[in-house]
């Protein structure tokens, strides 16, 4: 019986069937569900690591120990883990080692749109690209065979539309694959003398992998036409088949690094016009051109955003009898946008209101609190990458701190452990007068509630080690470490005022659990006493989605309100009253 299965769940199922024993990841959309599904198999040890580099190095250690190992991350997570990746290419593996990187063309939930295929090329490791859930499962198992046969880590590249789509998938049984650990200094100790011997091994491996790619069933030619040929992979294959069906020939690549020159030349020889359909960078197209073959791709399709069937129909309309895009209709009114917002009762809201009120320069970070940049709060000046709030505020303060004492960094608990601690070490060591605010909501929020080293629970919700943030900061040399409740505006305001004014670096921990956590007890919702409300809109300044204006008075949506009371602290007439 085939099961309708999420692409990420299919990878997890593939890990189970391939006999994988070790999974370590840091959550990141759209990769998170792989690890969340893998943990449901008792046979696999799974963990959330503090960051992607730690996860990948953990997986490498497990492979060395002789057990098949795995780590998953989003595209920008691979930037963090790039360091071990490039040298793991030299050491190779013991038991199979698979890395999933999930790209986010279209930036549904990301800060950039980088194309991870560049990493496979640069690190000289094979990369597979499934186009649906059934392939995600099958490719995962094949990846381990490739990893052990060619002594290399293997990358599978997912994208949002493969990771977060469900399609019919057939499952199999778990296999057992284990090796023993044997000491091998020349292979695993990468100092210059040994690495020089390993580099030729890597180059020879690429030659062998290219031969493999020429005949592997993961690459397949579907010959239907001698007029038009399209080379494609991943979800783009689905769009091409959807629109052009059997009117064109298709070379579907399941292995996107290394690319197979003979297979491509043979395919090109069978068609009059050759095209490449690939999202983001023209990597296959550039390779085809390097073979001296004329090809179209980036001149008929954009290099930004994800594709869709209408885009394929538009691009190929002049070359083949593609179906015309259907007419569509719309109403004349402008449609207000609906951007994501901080939830009702979000503990970040109160703190960001205080930052806005004090006109702070706020160097931000990656997480739900990036929404502090959205109007009406607008209390953020920069967001770059995980941890950059702390390190960049150090640089900012070193240059402007003497003139502008109103600069803070804001970083969530999970992001702080991921990459903020090293930045904080720089503040402590090189002594900038920075104020770092750790927004401790006791969970990794944006990716959907994953535990982290500050929550005291592991991936299964069982008791685990718990980093004490106050003790950590004090041990690094900070004398000024204080904890505030972000539901208390006066407390937040005083802390920000005093710590930014202080003549030494300081840490404020804004602590209250995410309002969406199931174990959080809320007060009854508030409502507005219409007789008291004067319609001054003071409560509207916090951007709470539960408060709106109706007929000149504030109204609370009691299905959303969790009674946090931040609004009532702004009301000059005490018009917010409990519904209890």
Interface with another protein, residue 323, by CB under 8 A = yes
Q: Please, are residues 101 and 119 in contact by the beta-carbon 8 Å criterion?
A: yes
Bridge partner list, 549: 554
Interface with another protein, residue 376, by CB under 8 A = yes
Nearest to 349 by CA among 173, 517, 488, 142: 488
Tell me the closest approach of the beta carbon of residue 307 to another protein, in angstroms.
Answer: 9
Among 427, 547, 556, 564, binds another protein (CB under 8 A): 547
Helix-helix angle 309-316:234-244, to 10 degrees: 60
Which is closer to another protein, CB of 183 or CB of 518? 518
Tell me the closest approach of the beta carbon of residue 424 to another protein, in angstroms.
Answer: 26
Among 446, 496, 508, 562, binds another protein (CB under 8 A): 446
Work out the burial of residue 422: count CB atoms within 10 Å of its CB; fewer than 13 is exposed, 13-18 middle, 19 or more buried: exposed
Interface with another protein, residue 364, by CB under 8 A = no
CB count in 10 Å sphere of residue 223 = 13
**Cα–Cα dist 459/47, whole Å:** 6
Range 117-156, binding another protein (CB under 8 A): 132
Judged by CB under 8 A, the stretch of 223-231, 394-402, 519-527, 546-554 that binds another protein is 546-554
Nearest to 579 by CA among 569, 570, 568: 568
Among 25, 32, 216, 393, binds another protein (CB under 8 A): 32
Judged by CB under 8 A, the stretch of 53-61, 259-267, 333-341, 482-490 that binds another protein is 333-341
Which is closer to another protein, CB of 107 or CB of 400? 107
Which is closer to another protein, CB of 1 or CB of 294? 1
Q: Which two tokens stand for residue 190?
A: 């990468």
Q: Please, are residues 381 and 361 in contact by the beta-carbon 8 Å criterion?
A: yes
Range 181-200, binding another protein (CB under 8 A): none
Q: Please give the sequence-ordered ranges of beta strands (E in DSSP) within 455-524, or none if there are none.
A: 480-484, 506-511
Interface with another protein, residue 517, by CB under 8 A = no
Element (H, E) at 414: helix 413-415
For 4, half-sphere exposure in the C-beta direction (CA atoms, 13 angstrom radius) is 2
- Name the CA radius of gyration of the chain, rounded: 27
Among 167, 234, 452, 454, binds another protein (CB under 8 A): 167
Going by C-beta distance under 8 Å and a sequence separation of 6 or more, which residues neighbour residue 42? none
Judged by CB under 8 A, the stretch of 320-328, 405-413, 460-468, 490-498 that binds another protein is 320-328
Judged by CB under 8 A, the stretch of 191-199, 281-289, 417-425, 442-450 that binds another protein is 442-450
Q: Please, are residues 29 and 109 in contact by the beta-carbon 8 Å criterion?
A: yes
Interface with another protein, residue 531, by CB under 8 A = no
Interface with another protein, residue 335, by CB under 8 A = yes
Among 13, 157, 198, 241, binds another protein (CB under 8 A): 241
Q: Which residues bind another protein (CB under 8 A)?
A: 2-4, 29-30, 32-33, 108-109, 132, 160-162, 164-168, 235, 238-239, 241-242, 245, 308-310, 323, 325-343, 368, 371, 374-376, 446-448, 537, 540, 543, 545, 547-549, 559
């Amino acid at each position: 019986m085939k099961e309708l299965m999420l692409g990420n769940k299919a990878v997890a199922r593939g890990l189970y069937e391939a006999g994988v024993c070790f999974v370590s990841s840091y959550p990141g959309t759209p990769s998170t569900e792989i690890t969340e599904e893998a943990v449901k198999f008792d046979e696999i040890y799974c963990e959330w690591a503090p960051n992607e580099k730690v996860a990948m190095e953990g997986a490498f250690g497990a492979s060395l120990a002789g057990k098949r190992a795995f780590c998953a991350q989003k595209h920008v997570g691979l930037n963090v883990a790039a360091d071990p990746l490039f040298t793991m290419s030299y050491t190779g593996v013991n038991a199979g080692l698979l890395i999933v990187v999930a790209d986010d063309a279209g930036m549904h939930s990301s800060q950039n749109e980088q194309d991870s295929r560049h990493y496979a090329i640069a690190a000289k490791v094979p990369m597979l690209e499934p186009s649906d859930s059934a392939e995600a499962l099958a490719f995962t198992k094949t990846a381990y065979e490739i990893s052990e046969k060619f002594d290399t880590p293997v990358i599978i590249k997912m994208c949002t539309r493969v990771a977060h789509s469900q399609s019919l998938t057939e499952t199999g049984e778990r296999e057992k694959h284990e090796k023993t650990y044997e000491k091998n200094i020349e292979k695993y100790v990468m100092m210059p003398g040994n690495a020089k011997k390993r580099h030729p091994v890597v180059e020879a491996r690429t030659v062998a992998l290219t031969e493999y790619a020429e005949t592997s069933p993961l690459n397949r030619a579907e010959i239907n036409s001698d007029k038009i040929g399209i080379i494609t992979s991943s979800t783009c294959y689905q769009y091409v088949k959807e629109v052009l069906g059997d009117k064109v020939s298709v070379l579907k690549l399941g292995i996107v690094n290394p690319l197979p020159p003979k297979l491509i030349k043979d395919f090109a020889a069978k068609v009059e016009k050759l095209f490449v359909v690939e999202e983001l960078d023209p990597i296959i197209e550039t390779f085809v051109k390097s073979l001296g073959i004329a090809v179209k791709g980036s001149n008929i399709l954009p290099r930004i955003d994800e594709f869709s069937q209408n885009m394929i129909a538009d691009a190929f309309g002049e070359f083949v009898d593609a179906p015309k895009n259907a007419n569509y209709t719309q109403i004349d009114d402008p449609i207000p946008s609906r951007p994501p917002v901080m939830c009702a009762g979000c503990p970040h809201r109160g703190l960001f209101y205080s930052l806005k009120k004090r006109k702070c320069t706020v160097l931000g970070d990656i997480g739900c609190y990036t929404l502090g940049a959205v109007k009406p709060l607008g209390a953020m000046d920069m967001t770059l990458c995980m941890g950059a709030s702390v390190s960049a505020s150090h640089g900012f303060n070193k240059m402007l701190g003497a003139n502008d004492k109103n600069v803070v960094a804001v970083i969530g608990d999970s992001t702080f452990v991921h990459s903020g601690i090293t930045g904080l070490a720089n503040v402590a060591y090189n002594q900038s007068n920075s104020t770092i605010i750790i927004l401790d909501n006791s969970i990794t929020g944006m990716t959907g509630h994953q535990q982290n080293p500050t929550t005291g629970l592991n991936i299964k919700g069982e008791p685990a080690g718990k980093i004490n943030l106050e003790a950590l900061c004090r041990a690094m040399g900070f004398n000024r470490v204080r904890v505030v409740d972000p539901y208390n505006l006066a407390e937040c305001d005083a802390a920000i005022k005093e710590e930014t004014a202080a003549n030494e670096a300081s840490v404020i921990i804004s602590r209250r659990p995410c309002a969406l956590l199931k174990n959080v007890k809320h007060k009854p919702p508030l409502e507005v006493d219409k007789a008291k409300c004067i319609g001054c809109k003071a409560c509207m300044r916090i951007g709470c989605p539960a408060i709106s204006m109706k007929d000149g008075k504030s109204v609370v949506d009691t299905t959303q309100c969790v009674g946090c009371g931040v609004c009532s602290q702004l009301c000059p007439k005490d018009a917010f009253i409990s519904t209890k």
